[in-house]
Structure 1
Amino acid sequence: MTRFVDSKLTLREWLPLIGITVSAFIFNTSEFMPVGLLTGIGASFGTSEGVTGLIISVYAWAVMLLSLPLMILGSRLTFRPLMLLVIGVFCAGQALSALAPSYGLLMAARLVVACAHSVFWAIAAPVAVKVVDERHAPMAVSAVVTGSALAMVVGLPLGRMVGLCLGWRQTFGCVCAVSALVLAYLAVVFPKIPASKPFTLKQLPGILRNKVLMGIFLVTALYAMGYYTGYSYIEPFLLQVGGMDERVVTMALVAFGIAGLVGSAICSRFYRGHRWAFAVWVVAGVALALALLRPAALGVVGVFAVCMLWGIAGSGYSIVYQAEIIEFASDGEQTVAMAIFSGIFNLGIGTGSFIGGGVCTFGTIAHVGYVGASIALLALLYCAFVLIKHMRAQSSK
């Protein structure tokens, strides 16, 4: 197909990339919808904040446990049927979530969604790179991350508004309907992409010996743990500690998401020329935002400023470290390395949410930011003084 402009994507490349980006938007919206609906879900089932927050923790831990084994099984399929299967399972899980009559069955339905999630985020970035020319690989990864960031801008606040107006069940129902449309769209436009050679456990030691990949996994575990110690409880924090009304909380979440788009744009434009600086900065930005969360709660302006810093650094992290995994993993290892990354990220999400729930239950919700910042600081120190050295050394070979 002729290119519109020599350096730009063709329509044949754009169509599936748009579908993957919209899928990323839907998956990310679904994963974090409970953050904006915790109060409503808890009221429906008579559960406390800490218990309701387990929906986030257990979901994340399931993704952690399932990512590697499901991706090893999935590597036997070519990417087209694998992507369609994953979105189909996701759609079914959303329908079950909307209909769940009890807290336990809602948790079970979320575990069905977690199965789809664990494979989707392992293949999203590698597949996005494969549907475009290799020169546009960073832009393809950025598009996937932009879909995630848009979930913060539109998906999460919109889900919260639907939940407030119609109930949390209708929010899950809407995600089910949209994912069914995306499934139909991708069935038409998604190209046939040959799968990489099936990954076997015999290849796993190669990933485990890679100092850069192992360093990224460690930083990611600490980073996500710190991040979600605070973020999982951002809604009740702003309501209770900040004393804000529902509309202002929704606008703060919108600001968070807009900042994610800004971070995505900044990274896609400048990251390649400043790789090491970005690798450190995106971790430092989140640690700083968490540390400032409690002082910022004294005023609306402070809260919005912290949300902007947090959102910019958070979306930047996803772009930078997914791109580095693709850079430092061999072609046959990329999807499994991404599955491990996704699993470890979700280990951090689940553990951070669990720690945040403990802070809320046995301490005070006002301190979730400080606790999260102390964990994120460990990620920053390791990144700045160990990981960057390994990345420089391996890049110079």
Structure 2
Amino acid sequence: MGLTLSAFVFNTSEFMPIGLLTDIAQSFAMTPAEAGVMITVYAWMVGLLSLPLMLIACRMDLRRLLLLTLALFTIGQAGAGLAASFPALLAARIAVACAHSVFWSIAAPLATRLVTREHQPFALSLVAAGSSVAMVFGLPLGRVVGLALGWRTTFFCIAAISFLTLVYLCRVFPPLPQGERFSPAQLPSLVRQPLIAGIFLLSLLYATAYFTAYSYIEPFLSTTAHFAPSLITVTLMVLGVMGFCGSFLFSHCYGRCRFGVLRAGLAGLMASLALLLPASASLPLTFLTCMVLGTISTCFNLAMQAEIIRHTTRASSPVAMAIFSGIFNVGIGSGTFLGGRASAAGLLAYVGFFGAAIAAAAAVYLCLVYIPQAKKRERDGA
């Protein structure tokens, strides 16, 4: 429950600027494309800091590390609400990015350590449920609060919720045995594993493809699909609701057909991104496309995390997840950058096509390289 709450506040914070991008830009006399740099910087800072911070913290007790991470997160959210200038807002978001870097490095390993192996997919799906709740209620409600009371109020609300989550975890989170320690000297052998390297490449391509379109979904729905502001909020909620479906599909299907889940994930991503523009002419088709996109994004993201845990030891999994989180956020930043350049060039309507092309490259690598390597490892009994 505590990790689910933590995932809720972290994901709400990460994606909240997407729903308030226009208002934040207006506060600082900027265009949405210029203000979108905030999303890019946040993501790239997570990408740069995830591994170094986790290597520094890997010898720390995980419970204490989790609590310190939430404390830094709370401070960063309050700082964002108080920011008097765009550089000050960026600085506060970088502090939050540091907390983000550590949290998503330890969230999945912590969840799986609290349960038996057969319940690990379910534990991961509960963490993802926090992310889905953030997309269903956190992001849209943050947008509603921001539109009604100003975007700063939304940041203050997240700071308050994260503080309450910190107090709750102080009381309920159990101590964990230390177990084997990871040494930085083991890092080269970890990243040289073909399957681990393959997951990192897939995460980069997947995140770049998805966020090329998703980071600018608000202006896309406004200017291309001509949605009213209230309908944009509903659409964002639809995306989040379908995250629950993605969590459900993962927890029930991954253990029985993991390669099928991976294939369907990238195929669905490619198709839904390619259909964004054609579907924008119809409200039902737009909703259907967003439903597929929301389901696929959650399911495939969980599958990649499960693949990392499958191919790493208990000691190395937090470090591997740190690299995964860093690379994933480099993909978020890259996708946001590409989407921003497309928007600035007057090609906002076509961001889905750009994302679909990148997803197609990921699908080719998955089917021709990663899955054959994984099947060979299983046959060899490694």
Q: Place the TM-score, normalised by the shorter chain, in its bin.
A: over 0.9
Identity across the alignment (%):
47
Tell me the equivalent position of 2:219: 236
Q: Is the 8 A contact 2:121 2:250 kept in 1?
A: no
- The AA in structure 1 aligned to 2:66 is M
Match of 2:330 among 343, 347, 351: 347
- The AA in structure 1 aligned to 2:296 is A
Q: Is the 8 A contact 1:123 1:335 kept in 2?
A: yes
- The AA in structure 1 aligned to 2:15 is F
Tell me the equivalent position of 1:305: 288
The alignment partner of 2:225 has SS state of: coil
Tell me the equivalent position of 1:194: 177
- The AA in structure 2 aligned to 1:359 is A
Q: Is the 8 A contact 2:109 2:314 kept in 1?
A: no
- The AA in structure 2 aligned to 1:190 is F
The alignment partner of 1:331 has SS state of: coil
Alignment partners' CA distance in 2, 1:88 and 1:138? 28
The alignment partner of 2:20 has SS state of: helix
Tell me the equivalent position of 1:323: 306
1:117 aligns with 2:100: yes
Alignment partners' CA distance in 2, 1:208 and 1:45? 42
The alpha carbon displacement at 1:381 in A equals: 0.9
Tell me the equivalent position of 1:213: 196
Tell me the equivalent position of 1:84: 67
Query: What's the TM-score once normalised by structure 1's chain length?
Result: 0.94
Tell me the equivalent position of 1:38: 21
Runs of 5+ in structure 2 lacking a partner?
Answer: none
The alignment partner of 1:244 has SS state of: coil
The alpha carbon displacement at 1:132 in A equals: 2.2
- The AA in structure 2 aligned to 1:170 is T
1:224 aligns with 2:213: no
Match of 2:128 among 145, 148, 152: 145
The alignment partner of 1:162 has SS state of: helix
1:357 aligns with 2:328: no
The alignment partner of 1:118 has SS state of: helix
The alignment partner of 2:255 has SS state of: helix
Q: How far does the alpha carbon of each residue in 1:82-127 deviate from its partner, in whole angstroms, 9 at most, with x for none?
A: 0000000000000000000001100100000000000000000000
Alignment partners' CA distance in 1, 2:184 and 2:249? 37
Tell me the equivalent position of 1:335: 318
Q: Give the ranges of 4+ consecutive aligned residues of structure 1 lying more than 6 Å apart after TM superposition.
A: none
Tell me the equivalent position of 1:286: 269
1:246 aligns with 2:244: no
1:387 aligns with 2:379: no
- The AA in structure 1 aligned to 2:304 is Y
- The AA in structure 2 aligned to 1:249 is I
The alpha carbon displacement at 1:196 in A equals: 4.5
Tell me the equivalent position of 1:21: 4
Alignment partners' CA distance in 1, 2:378 and 2:311? 8
1:176 aligns with 2:176: no
After superposition, residues 54-93 of structure 1 pair within 5 angstroms as: 54-93=37-76
Runs of 5+ in structure 1 lacking a partner?
Answer: 1-17
Q: How far does the alpha carbon of each residue in 1:155-204 deviate from its partner, in whole angstroms, 9 at most, with x for none?
A: 11111111111111000000000000000000000111133444332111
Query: What's the TM-score once normalised by structure 2's chain length?
Result: 0.98
Alignment partners' CA distance in 2, 1:350 and 1:369? 16
Query: CA-atom RMSD, angstroms?
Result: 1.0
Deviates more, 1:285-294 or 1:178-187: 285-294
CA separation of 1:52 and 1:195: change in aligned 2, threshold 3 A: farther
1:133 aligns with 2:116: yes
